[in-house]
Copies of this chain bind each other. A is one copy, B any other.
Amino acid sequence: MMKMNDYIEIIDKKLDEYMPVKYPENIFKSMKYTVTLPGKRLRPVMCLETCRMFGGNFEDAIPTACAIEMLHAQTLIHDDLPCMDNDDFRRGKPTNHKVFGEAIATLAGDALLTFAPQIILKHSPNMGAEKLLKIMEEYFHAAGAYGVIAGQVVDIESEKSSNLSTYAALNKPSELLDYIHTHKTADLFKLALRTGAIIANATEEQLEEITEFGQCLGVAFQVSDDILDETSTFEEMGKTLGKDKAAGKLTYTSLYGLEEAKCKVACMLKKSYDIMNKYNIDSLVFDEIITGIKKRVGN
């Protein structure tokens, strides 16, 4: 059975291969810079492993897995811009706009949004048109205004009104927070899982199961991020921390406190395990991922 590091090695090699630096060089360098920053490659790993779990050949999912990592990098580049979260560091390195300037960073994010699905179409010659279209639909949905961007928009707007009573008039804060976590984080997890499953010809029922699993895992991961923003250090995380709190952002810890947040992580991971057991999902990799999230928050 494959382990995380086996997949990470494959993904890193392919990301490099799929992204040659062409003219005009600055844009390709900028795109590649953030995509290839060392990382855990959680989303592409989950895509490959899901494909394997459902009886597919994980190699068929490599272009899609890499495309999802590119999409993830796109969200990081634009989220870090001065007009958004204004972050100077990401994974221990200067953020994209710090290296290439704001204009190129903006364009690099734009370019990745269409470069990523291009990689899928170009490198999946045997997938069949119908399946490719299904994957395109999943990609567009997760990447756009119904997916990760919806989460980012509500996240930004939550910052503006630090007085929670403002929300109360519109929605309950807890509902808003669920909305942000679902779209900002879980949607890309679900994209990774669903496309991996689709490539393996999973049934509709299996797709639903894996989507539920992705929702739990995504929320667990995002709440653990909220916790680390308060409790971790720059050296551990490679990015500036404590910013959410300073900005008055709506996070799980700001709303419920640290202890409650840790309980939430434990609860969502328990749910993820339950789903794995219920559907007889046998995966070292998802064990590693769940254990990793547990360790992040010291559970």
A124 vs chain B, min Cβ distance (A) = 11
> If A110-B109, A129-B129, A136-B136 touch, does A149 touch B27 (CB 8 Å cutoff)?
yes
> If A83-B103, A117-B136, A129-B129 touch, does A110 touch B31 (CB 8 Å cutoff)?
no
Please classify the interface of chain A as helix (H, G, I), strand (E, B), loop, or mixed, using the class held by over half of its residues: helix
A250 vs chain B, min Cβ distance (A) = 13
Residues of B within 8 A of A114 (CB): 113, 139-140, 143-144
Judge whether B84 and A157 touch: CB under 8 Å.
Answer: no
A146 vs chain B, min Cβ distance (A) = 8
Residues of B within 8 A of A109 (CB): 110
Judge whether A28 and B106 touch: CB under 8 Å.
Answer: no
Judge whether A81 and B106 touch: CB under 8 Å.
Answer: yes
> If A24-B154, A153-B104 touch, does A121 touch B145 (CB 8 Å cutoff)?
no
Judge whether A145 and B106 touch: CB under 8 Å.
Answer: no
Interface: A156 (CB within 8 A): yes
Q: How far is the CA of A107 from the CA of B75 in the complex (A)?
A: 10
Interface centre among A31, A145, A149 (most CB of B within 10 A): A145
Of residues 113 through 147 on chain A, the ones whose CB sits less than 8 Å from some CB of chain B are 113-115, 117-118, 121, 129-130, 132-133, 136-137, 139-141, 143-146
Interface: A251 (CB within 8 A): no
For this chain, the copies found in one complex come to: 2
Interface: A111 (CB within 8 A): yes
| In the complex, residue of chain B having the shortest beta-carbon distance to the beta carbon of A111 | B145
Interface: A152 (CB within 8 A): yes
Judge whether A121 and B150 touch: CB under 8 Å.
Answer: no
Contact of A152 among B84, B107, B130 (CB under 8 A): B107
Interface: A102 (CB within 8 A): yes
Interface: A194 (CB within 8 A): no
Judge whether B153 and A141 touch: CB under 8 Å.
Answer: no
A145 vs chain B, min Cβ distance (A) = 4
Judge whether A136 and B121 touch: CB under 8 Å.
Answer: yes
| In the complex, residue of chain B having the shortest beta-carbon distance to the beta carbon of A83 | B102
Residues of B within 8 A of A136 (CB): 117, 121, 136
Name A residues whose Cβ lies closer than 8 Å to a Cβ of B.
Answer: 22-24, 26-28, 31, 74, 78, 81, 83-84, 101-104, 106-107, 109-111, 113-115, 117-118, 121, 129-130, 132-133, 136-137, 139-141, 143-146, 149-150, 152-154, 156-157
20 residue pairs from A and B, CB less than 8 Å apart? A22-B145, A23-B150, A24-B153, A24-B154, A26-B157, A27-B153, A74-B110, A81-B106, A83-B103, A84-B103, A103-B156, A107-B152, A110-B144, A111-B144, A113-B113, A113-B144, A114-B143, A114-B144, A129-B130, A129-B132
